[in-house]
Amino acid sequence: MIDVLWLQGEAIVAAFEVEHTTTIYSGLLRMADLVSMQPNLKLDLFIVAPDERREKVFYEINRPAFARLKPPLPKICRFIPYLELKKEVEQIGNRIRYMRQEFISEIAESCEPDYT
């Protein structure tokens, strides 16, 4: 089961897997299940995890099982490190109730491999 769904009206616009103590792989597998079962679903996917798990997230999401999905999971799922999210939420303060999903997209990192 996906940890968090962001709704806008009655539409799901984003899905979040929060990986604190569970394995990164299990969260990505839930995302992959969603993509496989609903390939035409247009929503943003995010994996939220401690900063020190960043390398593990990038390694796991780019494994062939996820990278060869249609669409590829590294292309549609982005990483949000805890510290960055905490910093941004603290700056917003009480205005957090006005936050839009696009704000999250701006602080998230692409999970696509950098071949440069």
Tens of pLDDT, residue by residue over 10-67, are 888 899 999 988 899 999 999 999 888 887 888 899 999 999 999 999 999 999 999 9
C-alpha distance across the termini of the chain, in Å = 36
Q: How many domains does the chain have?
A: 1
22 part of a folded domain: yes
pLDDT at 96: 75
37 part of a folded domain: yes
96 part of a folded domain: yes
80 part of a folded domain: yes
115 part of a folded domain: no
116 part of a folded domain: no
20 part of a folded domain: yes
Domain holding 102, by residue range, is: 4-110
Output the CA angle 19-37-62, nearest 5 degrees: 45
Reference 46, options 88, 91, 104; nearest CA is 104
Q: Could you tell me the pTM of the whole model?
A: 0.87
Average pLDDT over residues 72-98: 88
Reference 61, options 106, 12, 25; nearest CA is 25
Average pLDDT over residues 4-8: 88
